A = this chain, B = another copy of it.
Amino acid sequence: MNLNSYLKEKEDIINKALDTVLPKEDEFPQRLHKAMRYSVFAGGKRVRPILCLACAEVFAKLNENITNIGCAIELIHTYSLIHDDLPALDNDDLRRGMPTNHKVFGEAMAILAGDALLASAFSIMASCKAATNDEQASLLDTIREIAKAAGSTGMVGGQVVDIESEGKEVAFPVLEYIHIHKTGELILASCRAGAIMAGADEKPLEAITKYGEAIGLAFQIADDILDVEGQREHMGKGVGGDAKKGKITYPAVLGIDESRKRAQELVDIAITVIGNFGPKAKPLVEIAKYIVERRK
């Protein structure tokens, strides 16, 4: 398979669905909807929804529900970036080479656009069509898992510990906590949500869970390495930004070589645990490799 065309195909599906589920720019209040759309369409790689779709396709054909769950996850990811970039948090002016939301729309609007994206994610999920008992149960499981992954013991928890650790000497378990929670939990939830919505049984769902855990952490380690090594035009933001902010990173704690080794080990684990799925899991294998090999 050609990974690039696979990613492009899924990205197009997600972008089209995002355009459908989000309120239009001319819908009142226009400036709020403009702010929400600005960040959603600011060039994200759609890693999370693509993982959701790819995990679902191991078990069933894609349908509108699965695509919409993917969209909801991307909106949650986008809201977290908008709030992370705020002056009170990371105070970033650029994101993916474009001015951050609050730089364009002001702080108040950026806070509220983030809030609205989070709420709309749940509105989209709860609007999925679910007729049978099984479908409804899967949908409720999905909503619960994604909400938990986004919450105080998930993504927001990781973000809090990240901020509290800035400029401090922190132990390795704290670094791992930050990475697993700030990035890993939502990536894991993306994988599980896709599989659950596609009706995966318990045993295969366990494999998907291990896959999601491994690539979630690998993704963040790779991000840390890119922050040190990446080229400005690839990352769309200043390189070495983490170090400048006194943020704790894998390369800072383990060194570049050891970090790279750790990320590769995690990718190997991810590929091994889904070994039984056969050709249908080929995209998951390629995505796992891509996560550590990507240059942005």
Binding site for B on A (CB under 8 A): 23, 27-29, 31-33, 36, 79-80, 83, 86, 88-89, 106-109, 111-112, 114-116, 118-120, 122-123, 125-127, 130, 132-133, 136-137, 139-141, 143-144, 147-148, 150-154, 156-157, 159-161, 163-164
Interchain Cβ contacts under 8 Å between A and B, 26 examples = A23-B152, A29-B160, A29-B161, A29-B164, A33-B152, A88-B106, A88-B108, A89-B111, A108-B163, A109-B163, A112-B159, A115-B115, A118-B118, A119-B147, A119-B148, A119-B150, A119-B156, A120-B152, A122-B122, A122-B143, A123-B144, A123-B151, A125-B143, A126-B141, A130-B140, A132-B133
Most chain B CB inside 10 Å of its own CB: which residue of A36, A147, A148, A157: A147
CB distance A152 to B119 under 8 Å?
yes
User: Which residues of B sit under 8 angstroms from A23, Cβ to Cβ?
Assistant: 152-153
A130 to B28, CA, bound (A): 35
Contact B147 A122 (CB under 8 A): yes
How far apart are the CA atoms of A125 and B137 in the complex, in Å? 13
User: Given A133-B136, A140-B130, A156-B32, are A115 and B112 neighbors across the interface (CB < 8 Å)?
Assistant: no
* Shortest distance from the beta carbon of A88 to any chain B beta carbon, whole Å: 4
- Closest chain B residue to A150, Cβ basis: B119
Cα A247 to Cα B139 in complex, Å, equals 41
Cα-based distance from A164 to B147 in the complex (angstroms): 30
- Cα A152 to Cα B21 in complex, Å, equals 12
Whether A157 pairs with B32 at a CB distance below 8 angstroms is: yes
- A170 to B240, alpha carbons, bound, how many Å? 47
Contacts of A114 in B (CB 8 A): 115
Expressed in whole angstroms, the minimum distance between the Cβ of A181 and any Cβ of chain B is 9
How far is it, in angstroms, between the C-alpha of A110 and the C-alpha of B222 when the chains are bound? 30
Counting chain B CB atoms within 10 Å of each CB, which of A31, A36, A109, A111 scores highest? A111
Residue from A143, A144, A152, A157 having most chain B Cβ neighbours under 10 A: A152
18 more CB-based (< 8 A) A-B contacts, given A123-B147, A133-B136:
A28-B153, A29-B161, A88-B106, A89-B108, A89-B112, A109-B160, A112-B160, A112-B163, A119-B151, A120-B152, A123-B144, A125-B143, A126-B144, A127-B144, A136-B136, A136-B140, A139-B140, A140-B140
Minimal beta-carbon separation of A89 from chain B (angstroms): 5
Q: In the bound complex, what is the Cα–Cα distance between A148 and B140 (angstroms)? A: 17
Q: Whose C-beta in chain B lies nearest to the C-beta of A161?
A: B29
Which residues of chain B have C-beta atoms less than 8 A from A89's C-beta?
A: 108, 111-112
Please list the 7 inter-chain residue pairs (A to B) with the smallest Cβ-Cβ separation, ordered nearest first.
Answer: A126-B144, A88-B107, A123-B147, A136-B136, A119-B151, A116-B152, A122-B147
Partner of A151, one of B120, B137, B144, B163: B120
Residue of B at shortest CB range from A139? B140
